Copies of this chain bind each other. A is one copy, B any other.
Amino acid sequence: MDQHVAHKRPRGRPRKTVADRDDGNRRQQLIAGAARLFRRKGFDATSTRDIAAEAGMQSGSPFYHFKSKGALLYAVMEAGMRAAIERQGTALKAAALQKSEQIGQDPRGLLAVLIQNHFDVLLGPGSDFIPVMLYESRAITARQRATLATLQGEYEAPWVPVLQALHDAGQLRADVKLARLLIFGALNWSVQWFDRRKGATVDELAAAALALFVQEKP
């Protein structure tokens, strides 16, 4: 992505090269670094100086790319949501192609795909964006929260008919709306305790969740 050429400046900030220069993706670097720091330390406990250093910049430079620390936080959240939505769409498309049967014929299988993908988004590599969105929403404005709510609605949209179908089939024994909220809670909370290095794998976790929520076909 970028090469580093040695030059005179003996120490201090990271070298710039032709490849980075004028690159709009310094912005992306800031977002990615901020996501990591916001997740590890929290929004308030992360200084804009920390973020600048993470991207190899000086303390004031993030404000060349973002007008405020809050704007950076929002950028992290929005990028996370858009990526999650796209990834979920891809997973659903792949599942639809794999099966010859109609979608909707196998709601349990679809829920398995949705759950698996959701855990990947939450716990997979590079998965700082959504946890930040989930745990730092207090720090953004009401307007920003409203926009994110729209994106969240888009993300949740495919879940609704699946849960409804399971409910209709008697395999999901709770009010569909409450079931959705409870299920997302169970999944989202995993960022608090799941440790890739020990215990279950993400796949086992997804299987356990599915078994817990959905009853076998009667």
Contacts and interface: CB of A to CB of B under 8 A. Distances in A.
Contacts of A189: 181-182, 184-186, 188-189
Contact of A135 (B45, B135, B200, B204): B135
Contacts of A187: 182, 185
Size bracket of the A interface: 35 or more
Interface in A157-178: 172-175, 178
Contacts of A181: 189-190, 193
Interface in A168-214: 172-175, 178-179, 181-190, 192-193, 200, 204-205, 208-209, 211-213
Number of copies: 2
A208 B182 contact: yes
B182 A186 contact: yes
Interface of A is mostly: helix
B174 A212 contact: yes
Nearest to A41: B138
B182 A138 contact: no
A215 interface: yes
A42 interface: yes
B186 A200 contact: no
Q: Which of A42, A181, A190, A213 has the most CB of B within 10 A?
A: A181
A44 interface: yes
A216 B172 CA distance: 12
Given A185-B187, A186-B183, A178 B204 contact: yes
A187 B172 CA distance: 17
Contacts of A42: 42, 44, 138-139
22 contacts: A41-B138, A42-B139, A44-B44, A135-B135, A173-B211, A173-B212, A173-B215, A174-B212, A175-B200, A175-B204, A178-B200, A179-B212, A181-B190, A182-B189, A182-B190, A182-B208, A183-B186, A183-B212, A185-B186, A186-B189, A188-B189, A213-B213
| 8 A-B pairs with the lowest CB-CB distances in the bound complex, closest first | A185-B189, A44-B44, A178-B208, A186-B186, A174-B212, A182-B186, A174-B208, A185-B186
